[in-house]
C-alpha cells in the first residue's frame, strides 16, 4: 500500500505525506486519522461523497489552512500556514480564480513575476505553457472571453508555468461539460507524462478518479476517514475508450463506489 | 451609418431648439438680469476666447487637477489599506462617515483657518472633497474581491506589492471609478466655492466679481463657462474610465 | 449598466464576502481568525478610533495648530454647550433644516414626474440627454450670484438654489428607474389588460421606487449642503449665515461647532431617510434580506 519504506532506486522519499491528519471546525470534526504518502511522479485521485471533507483535506494538504491535528510534509519539510514552494494549485471555480482584468498570458505569468522572473523569460514560459494546454494564440485574450473549458486550461497553464513538483487540483472539471471534461482529463495525463509532475486530483466523479489515477484514496464516513487506498493497475497510456472498456475498470469503480456508499465501513476488505 | 446620424439627430434637436428659442425670446430683452442671449455670447467671446483663459480658467483648472489628484491618490492608498485590514476600517468608520457628511461649505472656514485664503486652501478643500467618495468606494471595491483570489495569491505565493497592484487595485477599480466620478462633480463645486471666498483669481471669483460689478453679461458668460468646464471634465473622465475599465465592460457585457 | 446606482458616494450596505469554514483563509492578510466581528468588538474598535482622533486633534491644537487658532476639543464642547443654550442657535438650525426640506420637496415635485416622463420613451430620453448632461454639471454655486441679484438674500433664494441642485439626481434616477422596469412585468400588464392607471400603480411605480429612493437620498444630502451654502454666501438666515459670521468674527471654536453640527445634521437626516426607506420598501429583496 504505502511505499515509504521501499528504497528501490525509482522510489525516493514520498513527495507528500500526511500523518494523523485531522481537522475540526470548532466542535465539528470533519476529518480524522488520515495517514498516507504520495510518491513522486504519482497520480493520486482523492474521491468521496459530497460533504465528506475533500476540500478541507485539500486545504490542509496545500497549506492554505493549518490542520487542527496531525501534520503534512512536503518534500520532507512540514507544511505550515502557507503553501510550500514547489506546489501549485488548480481551483475548481475557474471563473473566480482567474483575474478578469489581466489578459490570459498575464494571468499565467503573474506568479512568475512575483517570483522575480524577468519579463521576457516569463512571457516565454507562459506562452509555452499555454501552447501545451492547447491555447496557443489566445495569449492576449481575456479569460472571460473564453469558454469554461478553456478557462480551466488557463488555470492549468498557470500551474504548469509555475514549474512545480506537484500540482493539486480541486475538482477541476466539475463545472465543465462531459466532452470537455474528457479532453481535460487526457490533457492532465499528458502533462504528467511529459513533465513527471506529481498530481493530486480531488473529485466526486468515480469514473474520473479511476481513469486518471495510479492510486485512489477513498474518503468516506463522518468524520471523513480513509476508507481505502486502491491501486489502479490499468494499462498506460490511458485512453477514454479502451481503458474504460477494461473489466478491471469496472471492478475498481465498483469497489470505490461500494466503499463510498457504505460510509467507509467495509469489514477488513482485502487490501492489495 | 444612418442609425448613427439618426441618433445624433435625436440628441441634438432639442438643445438647438432651446438655444434658438432663448435667443429669439431674449433678443429684445430690457431686463437687467436677463440680457439678450446675443449679448451673452458676445461677452463669452470676449471673456473666454481667450482673454481670461490664462488669468482665470487655467489657474482654476490647475488647482482643480492638483486637488483632485491628491484627493484621489490618498483615497486609493488609504482605501486599499483599510479595505484589506478590516479592524482598522471598522475603527475608522465613524470618523469617515462623519467627515463625509461635512459639506464643502461647512469645512470652508476651518480650511481657511488652517491654510489661509490662498492656493493651499483651495487645493486642500478640493482634495478634501475628492478624498471621501474615492476612499469609501475603494474600500467597498476591495471588500468585493472574490475570496478565492485570496487563496490564489497564497497558493502561488504572490508578493504583497503584486497583490496590491494586480489584485486589490484592479478588483476595486470599477467601484473606485464610480467614486471618482462623483468626486469630479464635487471638486468642481469645491473649486468654485473656494474661489468665491479666497484670494482673487479663478472662475468662481470671476463670476462673483462680475456680479458685484454688475457686469451681468460677463456674469452669465462665467456661469456658462463653468458649466462647459464641468461638462468637458465629466466627459473626459468617462473616456478615461472606459479605457481603463475596458476589461470590466467586456466582462459584464458578456455576463449580461 | 448600474452607473447611476453606484453614483452614491457611500456604502453599498451589503455584507462582505462571507467566510465559510472551507474558506477560512479568504483574506490575503489573514491577520486574525474569522468570526471576530462581534458587536462588542466592533464597538470597542470604533470607540478607540474616535478617542485616537480626538487625541490627535488635541495634540495638533496644542502644537502647530495653536498659533493658527485651532481650538481644543474641550473648547469646542464648551462652545457647543453655550450655543445650545441660546435661542439663536436653534432658530438658525430650524431655518436651515426647513429650507433644506422645502427645497428637497420642491425638487421631488418637479423632478419625479419629469424624470419618469423622460424615461418612458427612448426618443425622449435621447432628446433631453445633452441638455440634462450639461445642466447638471453646472455647479449650483455658480448660479448663486445670479440668484442673489434676482432674489436677494432670502429664503426664496435658498429654495431656488436647492431646487437647481437637487432636481438633477432626482430626475436622472427617475429616468434610470423607468428604464429598469422589467420587461417581463410590463408584459404581464399587457397580458392581463391592465389599464393605464393600474399599470402605473402596480407595475411601474413599485419597480421605480427603490431606484428613486437612491436619488432622493442623494438629493437630500445635496439639499442640506446647498441650504448651508445659500446661507453662507447669500446671508439668508440659518446655519450658513452663522458660519459665515464666525469666519468674519474669528470665533474659531464656533466654526468647529457649526461644521460639526452641519455634519451631524447630515448624518441624522441620512439615517432618518434610510429608516423611512426601510419601512416603505419592506417588500423589496434588498430590504427583506433575501438575495
Q: Which residue has the cell 506546489?
A: A87
A16 three-class SS: strand
pLDDT tens-digit readout, B69-101: 999 999 999 999 998 888 888 888 888 888 888
Q: Give the model's pLDDT for residue C1.
A: 30
- Average pLDDT over chain C reads 78
When pLDDT is averaged across residues A31-49 and rounded to a whole number, the result is 91
Q: In the predicted model, is pLDDT for residue B103 greater than 50?
A: yes
What is the 3-state secondary structure of C146-186?
Answer: HHHHHHCCCHHHHHHHHHHHHHHHHHHHHHHHHHCCCHHHH
Output the nine-digit C-alpha cell for C156.
Answer: 426664496
Lowest mean pLDDT among A165-169, A248-252, B182-186: B182-186
Residue A101 forms contact with B (CB below 8 Å): yes
Neighbours of chain B (3+ CB pairs under 8 A): A, C
Beta bridge partners of residue A203, listed in sequence order: A47
pLDDT tens-digit readout, B179-202: 898 889 889 989 998 998 888 888
Q: Give the model's pLDDT for residue C41.
A: 83
pLDDT tens-digit readout, C88-113: 888 889 999 999 999 999 999 999 99
Q: Which residue has the cell 467627515?
A: B99
Q: How far apart are CA A23 and CA A69, in angstroms?
A: 6
The CA distance from A100 to the nearest CA of chain B, in Å, is 7
Task: Report the DSSP pairing between strands A77-78 and A87-90.
Answer: unpaired
Beta bridge partners of residue A34, listed in sequence order: A21
The CA distance from C26 to the nearest CA of chain A, in Å, is 9
- How many Å is the maximal CA-CA distance in chain B? 76
Rg (chain C; Cα; Å): 23
Which of B151, B164, B248 should one mutate to test binding to chain A, selecting the residue with the greatest count of A CBs within 10 A? B151
Q: Give the model's pLDDT for residue C21.
A: 30
Cross-chain Cβ contact A64/B158 below 8 Å = no
Task: Name the band, by pLDDT with cuts 50, 70 and 90, for residue B123.
Answer: very high
Among B191, B193, B81, smallest CA distance to B139 is for B81
- Residues from chain A that touch C21, judged by Cβ atoms under 8 A, are 25, 56
Output the nine-digit C-alpha cell for C135.
Answer: 445642466
Among B34, B33, B35, B38, smallest CA distance to B23 is for B38
Q: Give the model's pLDDT for residue C192.
A: 78
The CA angle A65-B158-A34, to the nearest 5 degrees, is 20
Is residue A111 within a helix (H) or strand (E), and if so which, with residue range? helix A104-114
pLDDT tens-digit readout, A138-153: 999 999 999 989 999 9
Residues 67-96 of B with CB under 8 A from C: 84-87, 90-95
Which of C136, C137, C248 should one mutate to test binding to chain B, selecting the residue with the greatest count of B CBs within 10 A? C137
Count how many Cα atoms sit within 13 Å of the Cα of residue A26 in the half-sphere of its side chain.
8
Output the nine-digit C-alpha cell for C204.
Answer: 411601474
- Residues from chain C that touch B143, judged by Cβ atoms under 8 A, are 16-17
Task: Report the share of chain A in percent with pLDDT over 70.
Answer: 92
pLDDT tens-digit readout, B125-154: 999 999 998 998 898 888 888 888 888 998
Is residue A17 within a helix (H) or strand (E), and if so which, with residue range? strand A16-25
Cross-chain Cβ contact A59/C22 below 8 Å = yes
Q: How far apart are CA B67 and CA B230, in angstroms?
A: 15
- Residues from chain C that touch A55, judged by Cβ atoms under 8 A, are 22
When pLDDT is averaged across residues B213-239 and rounded to a whole number, the result is 89
Q: How far apart are CA C258 and CA B195, in angstroms?
A: 21
Give the domain ranges of chain C.
80-288
Among B165, B166, B177, smallest CA distance to B141 is for B177
Q: What is the DSSP letter of C202?
A: I
Q: How far apart are CA B76 and CA B172, in angstroms?
A: 9
Please check whether residue B221 is in contact with residue C172, taking contact to mean a CB–CB distance below 8 angstroms. Answer: no
When pLDDT is averaged across residues B30-57 and rounded to a whole number, the result is 84
B47 three-class SS: helix
Output the nine-digit C-alpha cell for A50.
Answer: 459530497
Measured CA distances, C245 to B197, C179, C231, C252 (Å): 13, 46, 10, 11
Task: Report the share of chain C in percent with pLDDT over 70.
Answer: 85
More confident residue, A214 or B50: A214
- Residues from chain A that touch B155, judged by Cβ atoms under 8 A, are 62, 64, 83, 87-89, 91
The domains of chain B, with CATH numbers, are: 37-254 (1.10.3720.10)
Q: Give the model's pLDDT for residue C27.
A: 31
Q: How far apart are CA B174 and CA B148, in angstroms?
A: 19
Q: Give the model's pLDDT for residue C200.
A: 81
Please check whether residue A155 is in contact with residue A90, taking contact to mean a CB–CB distance below 8 angstroms. Answer: yes
Within chain B, where are the H helices?
2-26, 37-46, 58-84, 86-100, 104-115, 119-143, 147-155, 160-163, 169-197, 203-212, 216-244, 246-254
Cross-chain Cβ contact A101/B171 below 8 Å = yes
When pLDDT is averaged across residues C51-73 and rounded to a whole number, the result is 84
Beta bridge partners of residue C268, listed in sequence order: none
Q: Give the model's pLDDT for residue C14.
A: 26
Q: How far apart are CA A210 and CA A63, in angstroms?
A: 26
Task: Name the band, by pLDDT with cuts 50, 70 and 90, for residue C37.
Answer: low
- Residues from chain B that touch A155, judged by Cβ atoms under 8 A, are none
Count how many Cα atoms sit within 13 Å of the Cα of residue B225 in the half-sphere of its side chain.
31
Residue B28 forms contact with C (CB below 8 Å): no
Within chain C, where are the H helices?
3-6, 39-62, 73-84, 87-120, 122-137, 140-151, 155-179, 183-191, 196-198, 205-234, 239-249, 252-280, 285-288
Query: Which residues, in sequence order, are CB contacts of B144 under 8 Å at separation 6+?
Result: B171, B172, B175, C17
Cross-chain Cβ contact A89/B151 below 8 Å = yes
Structure pTM? Answer: 0.78
Q: In the predicted model, is pLDDT for residue A272 greater than 80?
A: no
When pLDDT is averaged across residues C64-70 and rounded to a whole number, the result is 78
Please check whether residue A54 is in contact with residue A226, taking contact to mean a CB–CB distance below 8 angstroms. Answer: no
Query: Which residues, in sequence order, are CB contacts of B102 under 8 Å at separation 6+?
Result: C259, C262, C263, C266
Which of A88, A100, A105 should one mutate to test binding to chain B, selecting the residue with the greatest count of B CBs within 10 A? A100
Q: How far apart are CA C143 and CA B192, in angstroms?
A: 11
Please check whether residue C236 is in contact with residue C157, taking contact to mean a CB–CB distance below 8 angstroms. Answer: yes
Beta bridge partners of residue A224, listed in sequence order: A31
More confident residue, A104 or A96: A104
Cross-chain Cβ contact B149/A88 below 8 Å = no
* Top-level class of domain A1-86+166-272: alpha beta
Query: Which residues, in sequence order, are CB contacts of C192 under 8 Å at separation 6+?
Result: none
| Sign of CA pseudo-dihedral A174, A176, A182, A187 | negative
Please check whether residue C45 is in contact with residue C53, taking contact to mean a CB–CB distance below 8 angstroms. Answer: no
When pLDDT is averaged across residues A110-117 and rounded to a whole number, the result is 90
Among C127, C113, C103, smallest CA distance to C177 is for C113
The CA angle A159-A160-A164, to the nearest 5 degrees, is 80
The CA angle A148-A151-A152, to the nearest 5 degrees, is 90
DSSP structure string for B143-173: HTS-HHHHHHHHHTT--HHHHIIIIIHHHHH
A116 burial via Cβ count (<10 Å: 0-12, 13-18, 19+):
exposed
Please check whether residue A22 is in contact with residue A34, taking contact to mean a CB–CB distance below 8 angstroms. Answer: yes
Q: What are the φ/ψ torsions at residue C72 (nearest 5 degrees)? A: -75, 155
Q: Give the total residue count for chain C.
A: 291
Query: Which residues, in sequence order, are CB contacts of A208 under 8 Å at separation 6+?
Result: A45, A173, A181, A185, A201
Among B99, B247, B105, B230, smallest CA distance to B171 is for B247
Q: How far apart are CA C159 and CA C152, in angstroms?
A: 12
The CA distance from A137 to the nearest CA of chain C, in Å, is 31
pLDDT tens-digit readout, C155-164: 889 999 999 9
- How many Å is the maximal CA-CA distance in chain C? 75
Cross-chain Cβ contact B204/C141 below 8 Å = yes
Cross-chain Cβ contact B250/A101 below 8 Å = no
The CA distance from B128 to the nearest CA of chain A, in Å, is 30
Which of A31, A55, A224 should one mutate to test binding to chain C, selecting the residue with the greatest count of C CBs within 10 A? A55
Residue B156 forms contact with A (CB below 8 Å): yes
b/e burial code for range A133-152 (CB count within 10 A of at least 16 → b): bbbeebbeebbbbbeebbbb
Q: What is the DSSP letter of A90?
A: E
Which residue among B14, B102, B196 sits closest to C128, beta carbon to beta carbon?
B14
When pLDDT is averaged across residues C42-46 and rounded to a whole number, the result is 86
- How many Å is the maximal CA-CA distance in chain A? 58
Residue B158 forms contact with A (CB below 8 Å): yes
CATH 1.10.3720.10 for the C80-288 domain, yes or no: yes
The CA distance from C7 to the nearest CA of chain B, in Å, is 6
Among A85, A23, A60, smallest CA distance to A225 is for A23
Cross-chain Cβ contact A25/C21 below 8 Å = yes
Q: How far apart are CA C97 and CA C103, in angstroms?
A: 10
Q: In the predicted model, is pLDDT for residue C16 greater than 60?
A: no
Query: Which residues, in sequence order, are CB contacts of C205 under 8 Å at separation 6+?
Result: none
Output the nine-digit C-alpha cell for A134.
Answer: 492547447
Give the domain ranges of chain A.
1-86+166-272, 93-163
Q: Give the model's pLDDT for residue A1.
A: 45
B41 three-class SS: helix
Q: Which residue has the cell 455658480?
A: C142
Residue A162 forms contact with B (CB below 8 Å): yes
Amino acid at each position: 500500500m504505502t511505499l515509504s519504506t521501499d528504497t528501490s532506486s525509482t522510489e525516493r522519499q514520498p513527495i507528500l505525506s500526511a500523518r494523523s491528519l485531522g481537522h475540526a471546525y470548532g466542535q465539528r470534526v470533519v476529518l480524522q486519522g488520515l495517514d498516507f504518502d504520495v510518491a513522486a511522479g504519482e497520480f493520486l485521485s482523492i474521491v468521496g461523497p459530497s460533504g465528506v471533507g475533500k476540500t478541507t483535506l485539500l486545504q490542509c494538504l496545500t497549506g492554505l489552512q493549518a490542520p487542527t491535528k496531525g501534520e503534512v510534509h512536503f518534500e520532507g519539510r512540514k507544511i505550515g500556514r502557507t503553501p510550500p514552494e514547489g506546489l501549485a494549485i488548480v481551483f475548481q471555480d475557474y471563473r473566480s480564480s482567474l483575474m478578469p482584468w489581466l489578459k490570459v498570458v498575464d494571468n499565467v505569468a503573474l506568479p512568475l513575476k512575483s517570483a522575480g522572473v524577468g519579463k521576457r523569460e516569463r512571457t516565454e514560459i507562459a506562452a509555452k505553457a499555454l501552447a501545451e494546454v492547447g491555447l496557443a494564440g489566445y495569449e492576449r485574450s481575456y479569460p472571460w472571453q473564453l469558454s469554461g473549458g478553456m478557462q480551466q486550461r488557463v488555470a492549468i497553464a498557470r500551474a504548469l508555468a509555475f514549474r512545480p513538483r506537484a500540482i493539486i487540483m480541486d475538482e477541476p472539471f466539475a463545472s465543465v461539460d462531459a466532452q470537455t471534461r474528457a479532453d481535460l482529463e487526457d490533457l492532465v495525463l499528458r502533462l504528467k507524462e511529459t513533465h513527471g509532475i506529481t498530481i493530486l486530483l480531488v473529485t466526486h466523479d468515480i469514473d474520473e478518479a479511476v481513469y486518471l489515477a495510479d492510486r485512489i484514496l477513498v474518503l468516506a464516513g463522518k468524520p471523513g476517514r480513509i476508507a481505502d487506498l486502491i491501486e489502479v493497475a490499468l494499462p498506460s497510456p490511458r485512453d477514454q475508450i479502451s481503458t474504460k472498456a477494461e473489466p478491471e475498470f469496472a471492478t475498481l469503480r465498483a469497489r470505490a463506489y461500494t466503499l463510498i456508499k457504505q460510509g467507509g465501513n467495509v469489514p477488513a476488505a482485502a487490501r492489495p | 451609418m444612418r442609425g448613427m446620424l439618426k441618433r445624433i439627430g435625436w440628441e441634438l434637436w432639442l438643445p438647438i431648439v432651446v438655444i434658438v428659442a432663448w435667443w429669439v425670446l431674449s433678443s429684445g430683452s430690457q431686463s437687467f438680469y436677463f440680457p439678450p442671449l446675443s449679448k451673452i455670447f458676445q461677452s463669452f467671446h470676449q471673456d473666454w476666447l481667450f482673454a481670461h483663459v490664462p488669468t482665470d480658467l487655467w489657474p482654476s483648472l490647475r488647482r482643480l487637477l492638483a486637488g483632485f489628484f491628491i484627493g484621489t491618490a490618498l483615497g486609493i492608498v488609504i482605501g486599499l489599506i483599510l479595505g484589506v485590514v478590516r479592524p482598522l476600517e471598522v475603527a475608522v468608520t465613524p470618523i469617515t462617515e462623519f467627515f463625509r457628511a461635512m459639506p464643502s461649505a461647512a469645512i470652508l472656514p476651518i480650511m481657511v483657518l488652517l491654510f489661509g485664503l490662498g492656493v493651499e486652501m483651495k487645493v486642500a478643500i478640493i482634495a478634501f472633497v475628492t478624498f471621501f467618495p474615492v476612499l469609501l468606494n475603494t474600500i467597498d471595491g476591495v471588500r468585493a474581491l472574490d475570496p478565492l483570489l485570496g487563496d490564489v495569491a497564497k497558493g502561488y505565493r504572490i508578493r504583497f506589492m503584486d497583490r496590491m497592484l494586480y489584485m486589490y487595485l484592479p478588483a476595486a477599480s470599477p467601484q473606485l471609478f464610480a467614486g471618482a466620478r462623483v468626486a469630479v462633480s464635487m471638486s468642481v463645486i469645491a473649486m468654485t466655492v473656494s474661489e468665491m471666498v479666497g484670494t482673487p483669481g479663478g472662475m468662481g471669483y470671476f463670476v462673483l466679481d462680475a456680479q458685484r460689478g454688475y457686469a451681468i453679461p460677463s456674469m452669465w458668460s462665467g456661469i456658462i463657462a463653468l458649466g462647459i468646464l464641468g461638462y468637458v471634465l465629466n466627459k473626459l473622465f468617462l473616456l478615461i474610465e472606459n479605457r481603463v475599465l475596458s476589461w470590466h465592460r467586456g466582462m459584464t457585457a458578456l455576463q449580461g | 449598466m448600474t452607473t447611476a446606482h453606484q453614483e452614491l458616494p457611500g456604502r453599498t450596505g451589503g455584507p462582505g464576502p462571507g467566510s465559510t469554514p472551507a474558506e477560512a483563509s479568504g483574506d490575503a492578510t489573514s491577520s486574525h481568525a474569522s468570526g471576530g466581528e462581534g458587536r462588542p468588538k466592533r464597538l470597542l474598535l470604533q470607540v478607540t478610533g474616535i478617542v485616537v482622533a480626538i487625541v490627535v486633534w488635541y495634540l495638533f491644537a496644542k502644537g502647530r495648530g495653536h498659533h493658527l487658532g485651532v481650538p481644543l476639543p474641550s473648547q469646542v464642547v464648551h462652545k457647543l454647550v453655550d450655543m445650545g443654550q441660546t435661542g439663536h442657535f436653534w432658530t438658525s438650525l430650524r431655518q436651515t433644516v426647513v429650507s433644506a426640506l422645502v427645497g428637497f420637496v420642491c425638487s421631488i415635485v418637479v423632478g419625479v414626474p419629469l424624470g419618469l416622463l423622460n424615461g418612458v420613451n427612448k426618443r425622449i430620453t435621447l432628446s433631453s440627454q445633452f441638455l440634462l448632461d450639461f445642466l447638471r454639471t453646472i455647479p449650483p454655486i455658480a448660479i448663486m450670484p445670479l440668484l442673489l441679484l434676482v432674489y436677494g438674500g432670502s429664503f426664496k433664494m435658498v429654495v431656488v438654489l436647492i431646487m437647481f441642485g437637487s432636481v438633477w439626481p432626482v430626475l436622472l434616477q427617475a429616468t434610470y428607474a423607468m428604464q429598469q422596469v422589467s420587461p417581463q412585468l410590463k408584459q404581464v400588464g399587457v397580458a392581463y389588460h391592465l389599464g393605464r392607471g393600474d399599470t402605473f400603480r402596480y407595475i411601474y411605480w413599485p419597480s421605480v421606487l427603490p431606484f428613486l429612493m437612491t436619488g432622493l437620498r442623494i438629493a437630500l444630502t445635496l439639499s442640506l449642503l446647498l441650504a448651508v451654502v445659500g446661507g453662507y454666501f447669500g446671508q439668508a438666515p440659518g446655519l450658513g449665515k452663522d458660519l459665515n459670521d464666525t469666519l468674519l468674527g474669528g470665533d474659531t471654536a464656533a466654526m468647529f461647532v457649526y461644521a460639526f453640527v452641519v455634519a451631524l445634521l447630515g448624518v441624522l437626516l441620512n439615517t432618518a431617510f434610510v429608516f423611512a426607506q426601510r419601512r416603505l420598501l419592506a417588500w423589496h429583496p434588498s430590504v427583506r434580506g433575501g438575495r
